[in-house]
Amino acid sequence: MGSQFRKFARNAATSSRSSSTTPSGGRVTVEVSKRLQQKINKRVRSIAANKGLMKGIAKFALLETKKYVRIGISPKTDKRFPPLAESTIRTRDSFDKKKNVKKSPYFIPDFSNLTMTGQLVRAMQMKYDSKNFQLIMVFKQSRKDSELKNDKLIEHLDSMGRYIVGVPKHVKSKIIKALNIFISRRSG
C-alpha cells in the first residue's frame, strides 16, 4: 500500500487546484446561499429529512477531507502542504525505522500530509447544525503518544502554514450540486 499510495499522493498533490476559501477555527461553513437554504426549508420541510441530509453531507465531507489531507493537500487552501524541512524528514525517517511503533498506512517520511501515526486525521470529526446548514469540524483531543492535545497541535500546524481545518472547494461544490438535485427530487 505504501508505495502505491506514495505515487497516488504525489500525483494528486501536483494536480491540486488553488482556491480562496478561508474557514476559521473549527466551524466550517458550506456556502449554502440564503436562496438555497430557503428552497431546502420550503421543499424538504421535515426536520428528519433535514437532519438526514446534513448527516449524509457531513459524512461525505469528512471522508473527502480526510482523503485530501492524506494526499497532502490542505482542505482550507486547496494547495499542497508546504514541503517538509530536511530536519523534519530526518526525524520522520528515524520514526519510519522504528520497529515497535504503529505507523499510519498513509505515512511517507518525506511527504507532507500531516500523518505519522495517523492520530490527528483519525481524530477529525464532522458535526452538523441542520438548522443553519453548517458543518462543524471538531477534533478528538487526546493522543496516545503524548500529552499534547490535538487543538495545540493544529495551532502549531497553522503557524507553519499547514492548515487542516476546512472543507475542500470541490467538495463544497459537490455538496451544493447534490443539494439542488435533492431538492428537485423532493419537489417532483
Residues that bind other proteins (CB under 8 A): 44, 46-53, 55-57, 59-60, 174-175, 177-179, 181-182, 185
Least Cβ distance, residue 27 to other proteins (angstroms): 21
Is 10 or 170 the residue whose CB approaches other proteins more closely? 170
Q: Among 93, 123, 127, 90, which residue's Cα sits nearest to residue 108?
A: 93
Distance CA 59, CA 57 (A): 5
Alpha helices, DSSP H, located in 25-142: 34-43, 47-70, 86-97, 119-122
What is the C-alpha R_g of the chain? 18
Q: How far is the CB of 108 from other proteins (least distance, A)?
A: 28
Give me the residues paired with residue 138 across strands. 125
Q: Which is nearer to other proteins, 142 or 173 (CB)?
A: 173
Q: Closest CB to other proteins among 47 and 160?
A: 47
Distance CA 129, CA 165 (A): 17
Smallest gap from residue 137 Cβ to other proteins (A) = 18
Nearer to other proteins, 58 or 114 (CB): 58
